[in-house]
Amino acid sequence: MVDHFASVTFVARLRIFVPRIHVVGALQRSVYQIWLRLSGMMAAKHSTGPEVVGRCYPHAHKAMALAFLFVSCLAIFTNIVYLRQLDFIAYWAAAVMALQGNAAGAYDVAAHMAVQNSVAVFHNRMPFAYPPPFLLLLIPFGFLPYAFAAALWILTTATAYFAAVRKLLPGSVWLAGAFPPVLVNGMIGQAGLLLAAIFIAGIVNLKRRPFIAGLFLGCLVIKPQLAVLLPLAFIAGGQWRAFAGAAVSSCGLVLLGALFFGADSYLAMLHQMPLFVAIATDGLSGWYKMSSVYAALRFAGAGSGLAWLYHIAVGVGASAILWWVWRQPVEMAAKAAVLVTASVLISPYLYVYDTVILVVPFFWLAARGENRLLLAILWCIPLLSIGQALDIEQSLNLAPAVPIMLLALIFRQLFHAKTRKLLIGSQSPPPLAAWYQAIARNFSRRASRSAPAD
């Protein structure tokens, strides 16, 4: 059975003397302190009573990020001295097969597993779930031994992620490192950090260099389920240059994949698709490990039909909000936050390591003084997925609640801003706001007339 988080059991194998549950509990207790401090830094003018607590923990977010860094380094080191089945081994095995001239074989589960077992005997299937263009990035890692390739991959993708975050919001690197999905990617070598770097690089350039932004965002063809809403956003916002850039890069990567690895690699990928459909719809890797609305409802006991109904309803609602926001003259940062959040809600095939990009809406909401306790709770929820992967807690899957709540909070902020002219570029008030103002003036006049004279 496919197990995307089997590798994280390395904690037990290391025989660490500190109980795992105490470590996770300490992380959970510190996250609230971290968010009190960080949201106070980013939205000081909106601060209220809890900021006093934040001042008591000026380095809490750095401590959290350093803890995640330590665990990630520990995972890398133990993989060198004792080979484990990180998720990265699927990438490495595919790269090795591509170098051997058998890229199509990466989509043959048996052949792909044989390459993994050439390193060490693993008992969990770890199939290759990415299109051929992704192999273009993996080829250099195929020249290295598995353990060192994994270390280099994690280091490279983390560097790209933090570089992109510095462009998005300077001074927020420590906060970005304290986001729990970052830890998951550091432990198992998934591609979430790279995907977040690409997404952030695109949205950072979208306002001033839309074609360049499109070139970055088109690279998400390596994980197409996260790019489903890009065309809708570009059309709604009239971002035709970004649309053109995304078309150039995505089509170019697809053609390069066919040129280097042959059309057979695409046919082999399509032949393997039923496996990943079964993973998403039948829960082969465990419903509690996935982060989609569909998976959460199935884990709660809902039937397939009901789960699909709610998942589609959430996806349609997210798409409608995306269309409305991108047609408004609001700041690009707000549009980017909506795009990221809605994109996470679309695909039924989603894991916690894919949700690193949610730092974008978190940053936007925190900078605008959103309720810090609520943000702290949402920030903590991915820790439950880590606990479930360690067999600590498997009673409830709350992962999709994070993007749903973030999208609702963003929509509320933008709707109120529209009525108050906070984010609208026009000098004239919106119709609804003008209506409110007219009512207020009317009541004011009546009150002045009825007031007794001195």
Which band of pLDDT confidence, cut at 50, 70 and 90, is reported for residue 391? low
pLDDT tier at 285 (50, 70, 90 boundaries)?
confident
pLDDT for 90: 94
Asked whether residue 416 carries a pLDDT value surpassing 90, the answer given is no
Q: Which residue has the tokens 């994280």?
A: 8
pLDDT reported for residue 124 = 78
3-state SS, the chain, equals CCCCCHHHHHHHHCCCCCCHHHHHHHHHHHHHHHHHHHHHHHCHHHCCCCHHHHHCCCCHHHHHHHHHHHHHHHHHHHHHHCCCCCCHHHHHHHHHHHHCCCHHHHHCHHHHHHHHHCCCCCCCCCCCCCCCHHHHHHHHHHHCCHHHHHHHHHHHHHHHHHHHHHHHCCCCHHHHHCCHHHHHHHHHCCCHHHHHHHHHHHHHHCCCCHHHHHHHHHHHHHCHHHCCCHHHHHHHHCCHHHHHHHHHHHHHHHHHHHHHHCHHHHHHHHHHHHHHHHHHHHCCCCHHHECCHHHHHHHCCCCHHHHHHHHHHHHHHHHHHHHHHHCCCCCHHHHHHHHHHHHHHHCCCCEHHHHHHHHHHHHHHHHCCCCHHHHHHHHHHHHHHHHHHCCCCCCCCCCCHHHHHHHHHHHHHHHHHHHHCCCCCCCCCCHHHHHHHHHHHHHHHHHHHHCCCC
| Banded model confidence at residue 444, pLDDT cuts 50, 70, 90 | low
22-45 pLDDT, tens digit per residue, is 434 444 445 445 444 444 444 444
Q: What is the mean pLDDT of residues 163-171?
A: 90
Residue 19 scores a pLDDT above 70: no
Q: Grade residue 288 by pLDDT with cuts at 50, 70 and 90.
A: confident
pLDDT of 422 reads 46
- Measured between alpha carbons, how far is 268 from 211 in angstroms, rounded to an integer? 33
Higher-scoring residue by pLDDT: 279, 212: 212
∠ at Cα 43 (41, 47), nearest 5°?
Answer: 95
Percentage with pLDDT > 90 across the chain: 57
394 or 218: which leads in pLDDT: 218
For 149-166, what is the mean pLDDT? 96
Between 343 and 84, name the one with better pLDDT.
Answer: 343
Q: Which residue has the higher pLDDT, 174 or 417?
A: 174
Per-residue model confidence (pLDDT) at position 211 = 97
**pLDDT band per the 50, 70, 90 thresholds, residue 63:** confident
> Can you give the pLDDT at residue 441?
53
Coil, strand or helix at 290: strand
pTM of the full structure: 0.80
Please tell me the predicted confidence (pLDDT) of residue 394.
66
Region of poorest pLDDT, from 23-27, 114-118, 285-289: 23-27
Cα pseudo-dihedral 335, 339, 340, 344, rounded to 10: 150
State yes or no: pLDDT of 304 exceeds 60: yes
Mean pLDDT within 218-232: 95
Q: Mean pLDDT score of the chain, rounded to an integer?
A: 81
Q: What is the mean pLDDT of residues 144-158?
A: 95
180-195 confidence digits (pLDDT tens) = 999 999 999 999 999 9
Least confident range from 134-143, 377-386, 444-453: namely: 444-453
Predicted confidence at residue 393, as pLDDT, reads 61
What pLDDT was estimated at residue 1? Answer: 41
Top pLDDT among 86 and 44 is at 86
Residue that wins the pLDDT comparison between 32 and 212: 212
* pLDDT value for 443: 44
Residues of the chain above pLDDT 70, percent: 77
pLDDT, position 40: 46
Reported as a pLDDT band with limits 50, 70 and 90, residue 64 is: confident
